[in-house]
Amino acid sequence: MRKEISPLDGRYADKLGELAELFCEQALMRRRCFVELAYLEALADTGRFFALDAAERAAIRKERESFGDRDYENVKRHEARTAHDVMACVEHLRERFPARAEWVHFALTSEDVNNLAYSLIFREYAERLQRPLLESVIRKLLELAERWEAAPFPAKTHGQPASPSTAGKELAVFAARLARQYGQLKAFRFRGKLNGATGNWSAFAAADPDFDWIAFSRRFVESLGLEFNPTTTQIEDHDAWSEWFSIVRRANVILLDLDVDVWEYVSRGYFGQRKKAGEVGSSTMPHKINPIKFENSEGNLVLADSLLSTLSERLCHSRMQRDLSDSTVVRNVGVALAHSHLAWQETLAGLGRIELDAAACRAELEREPQLLAEPYQIVLRRAGRKDAYDQLKELTRGRAVALDDFHRLLDACGIDESLKARLRALDVPGYVGLAPRVCRAALTAAEKELES
């Protein structure tokens, strides 16, 4: 029986299988070998060192695309001897292509391979799994916001009753915030370097002083779909990784805010949750349907952002040209992103189960007539009653009031009858201002961000 230290590899493994394939040790070795072989071809393409015939190119490309279990086992066999994971990949490839052994890893330092391999892994995750999942969360919010665009909804400031909103507008706020982060994720580009042991192309220039190695490196890095970073020490600075982590962290903070708010709305009865056959909410209280998706998401977001914060800071530091403190740290990027990914899945699942209890929302609003103090004092002040705020404060603050109390106050005010009629027509559920319009505009903007 397999035993796991992390719940990511145990309890949650079924939800994170694709991430495991991307961030496992074998995937890293595969990407390292991919970079080495792509570089071997690029070196041949310069026409300055050696030429590859059609059969060799076909063999190289087949090897690039077919790295499997046996290849990985062979790399690990070499690593057991070399105690160096990149050199283990190099030895593996030299065995595969003995006629070109001297050109494998030619003039490179390990970090040339590592930074490119990791960035390719991160980019694949971001494009293939991360962005589509975030888009699904946003689209679910847009769906719910559109459905409840005009549905009156209790609002709280400082935990106290405040001017009402609509359920759609409150969810549209989160859709708009997440859409901005989605746009930044979509525009983000990973970076890479290929410049040797101390970032000066020294070995390259020694091999061929007349060749434009900087232009060659730029072409090679960009051919991998990465931005070229020409000015580094031995290591690529990883500032771009930190920027990416920061975008993910902001999305996580927004989702944490959403989780907590929806949890509160469920606990107050504004939202109900559809029951799931066979599910148990308590070992002793049969009635319970717990908001566990939002709770699970919250816990995983806290873990993810703690790790991403550490990664953002640690990976941008290196003692002088190079030290290995980042080596073990970067291997945990997959852990941080897995907690984040799991949280996004849980939030999406939670949103799929909630239903607005419109009657409960309306009933709560109708129990809070004091919320009309705001429109009353504003309209009265516009009509010239300078003491309107103080009058409404005296009427409502810390007191139980009814609509009749507001109407009696109006009767004592010498204002235009049309204004009195407009105020008398107000009720709390209808006092939502421009919330539906705000909601529609936010939905349009978010949809545009997703489609751009």
User: Which of these, 209, 145, 219, 214, lies nearest to 177 by C-alpha position?
Assistant: 145
The 3-class SS string of 148-178 reads CCCCEEEEEECCEEEEEEEHHHHHHHHHHHH
Taking CA atoms, 77 is separated from 70, 85, 207, in Å, by 11, 10, 31
Q: Is 158 a catalytic residue?
A: yes
Place of tokens 């046996």: 70
Among 44, 153, 148, CA closest to 100: 44
Active site residue 306: no
Distance CA 85, CA 32 (A): 10
Q: Which residue has the tokens 């929806």?
A: 262
DSSP calls for 343-396: HHHHHHHHHTTEEE-HHHHHHHHHT-GGGGHHHHHHHHHHTT-TTHHHHHHHHH
Measured in degrees and rounded to the nearest 5, phi and psi for residue 386 equal: -65, -25
Using DSSP, state whether 128 is helix, strand or coil: helix
Burial of 402 (C-beta count, 10 Å sphere; 0-12/13-18/19+): exposed
Q: Which of 6, 223, 267, 282 is catalytic?
A: 282
Residue count of the chain, please give it.
Answer: 452
H or E element at residue 227: strand 227-228
Residue the block writes with tokens 């060749």: 211
Residues 6+ apart with CB under 8 A from 151: 166, 167, 168, 356, 358, 361
Parallel, antiparallel, or unpaired for β 160-166 and 152-157? antiparallel
Task: Enter the tokens of residue 107.
Answer: 């003039």
| Crossing angle (nearest 10°) for helices 131-147 and 167-187 | 160
List the catalytic residue out of 158, 283, 287, 418: 158
- Please provide residue 400's backbone torsions phi and psi, each rounded to the nearest 5 degrees: -85, 130
Indicate which residues carry an active-site annotation. Answer: 158, 282
